[in-house]
Amino acid sequence: GKMNALMASALRSTVSSVGALSSTGAWGTTFQRWATKKAGGSSSNGRKATHKRLGVKCFGGEHVIPGNIIVRQRGTKMRPGENVGLGRDHTIWALVEGHVKFQWNKLNKHQYVSVVPSLKFGMVNEQKAQEAHAHKEFHKAHGLLGLSRFAYKLAGEEGQKRIDAAEPLREKMYKSVVAVKRAAKRARKAREIEAQ
């Protein structure tokens, strides 16, 4: 009785560990395999990631001081130009005080980010304002001159000299803008009178 049951149990475990091809053993005994691991439930966590807040932080023409982050990005979509640093996570930041400048390079088709010192930025915008005034784009010229004036104010003593030198040009442009506005107002009134 007991001895036969013990031998059958030992034989059953031996055959089970070797791995029977069928569910029926050699002497007609059946084997049943039990799960060795409990079935795990699916986790509902791991989907809520914080946003990385990437993108341009300081735009073109904006005044920056050393250490200001200009662009946060993944990869070098925008390349570092003059007076900026590049972090290991491809963050671009200012190395000097000045104004942000974005520039598209046609040869290698990449966007470059630079920081231009205030005095140079003012001179470039003053030149652009004079060109716009020559092409009778008075509003554009007035806006560019305002940008140059803002940059000169940040440039210190040398900038103040440039503001004083550009004053006659600013007055001339202001008169041109006022004249254009008056002409537009007269034309609008004339159209209203014709419509009646």
Sign of the Cα pseudo-torsion (104, 109, 111, 114, in order): negative
Question: What are the Cα distances from residue 195, in Å, to 183, 184, 185, 187?
Answer: 19, 17, 15, 12
pLDDT in tens, the chain (196 residues): 655 666 666 656 555 555 544 455 556 677 777 767 777 777 777 788 889 999 999 999 999 999 999 999 999 999 999 999 999 999 999 999 999 999 999 999 999 999 999 999 999 999 998 899 888 888 888 888 888 988 999 888 998 998 898 888 888 888 887 888 888 889 999 988 888 7
pLDDT of residue 34: 75
pLDDT of residue 86: 96
Contact 159, 151 (CB under 8 A): yes
Identify the DSSP state of 175. Answer: H
pLDDT of residue 20: 47
pLDDT of residue 169: 81
pLDDT of residue 37: 74
3-state secondary structure of 56: strand
Report the distance separating Cα 62 and Cα 151, nearest Å. Answer: 10
pLDDT of residue 133: 85
